[in-house]
Chain A
Amino acid sequence: AQSVTQLGSHVSVSEGALVLLRCNYSSSVPPYLFWYVQYPNQGLQLLLKYTSAATLVKGINGFEAEFKKSETSFHLTKPSAHMSDAAEYFCAVSFNAGGTSYGKLTFGQGTILTVHP
């Protein structure tokens, strides 16, 4: 079975500081991995996705994530935080195989990012 664990339900950084949001996954087959962002009172929006083409994936708003198979991780980073980055971030995993999980995303529990001036 596939699963996702996000380490830290809340992360707080200063404006201009590095953002690091951690995600570890469990999957019996090569996964597809996603990061979504949810701004207050909005739906989830795709930040970036890993589909096995390249291990370092660049997304919108300056975010990137690196797929590390040996560590089963897909951590999200941004070199310099902006106030506008304050939101909740979700890591998700999927894979393209048969069975009842086909087409589903399994989401982590989310990490709320707070950015201080």
Chain B
Amino acid sequence: DAGVIQSPRHEVTEMGQEVTLRCKPISGHDYLFWYRQTMMRGLELLIYFNNNVPIDDSGMPEDRFSAKMPNASFSTLKIQPSEPRDSAVYFCASSLVGVSYNEQFFGPGTRLTVL
């Protein structure tokens, strides 16, 4: 298996622009998680899905952030409009709950820089 795939790996954009981050989970996994990592706040869970349905979005910082999972093999995290404080590394992770003891498999991350 190719593992969790994220694109792009790096994104540089200007304040006010829309940013879309993409994730392809491991085939057959039923949970998908979006995290944000910064030096100041560490690793934060933004939102997670079970069988394509959002379960908990309490970690989404503002209405500027939205996430979708239209099918089992694809998810997006969108920031509109972007701000410099959104600069961070965004990770996607997937798991097969109930089989792997909730072990999560992480993608390589997308490093976002908002100028």
Contact = CB atoms under 8 A, between A and B. Distances in A.
A16 interface: no
Interface of A is mostly: loop
Name the interface size band of chain B.
20 to 34
Name which of B31, B43, B45 has the most chain A CB atoms within 10 A of its CB: B43
Given A32-B101, A44-B91, A110-B42, A104 B108 contact: no
A100 B56 contact: yes
Contacts of A100: 55-56
A100 B59 CA distance: 13
A43 B91 CA distance: 7
A34 interface: yes
B13 interface: no
Given A96-B101, A104-B48, A105-B104, A43 B109 contact: yes
Contacts of B93: 44
A36 B105 CA distance: 10
A102 B108 contact: no
Interface in A34-49: 34, 36, 41-46, 49
A67 interface: no
Nearest to B109: A43
A46 B106 CA distance: 9
Interface of A: 32, 34, 36, 41-46, 49, 51, 90, 94-96, 100, 102-105, 107, 109-110
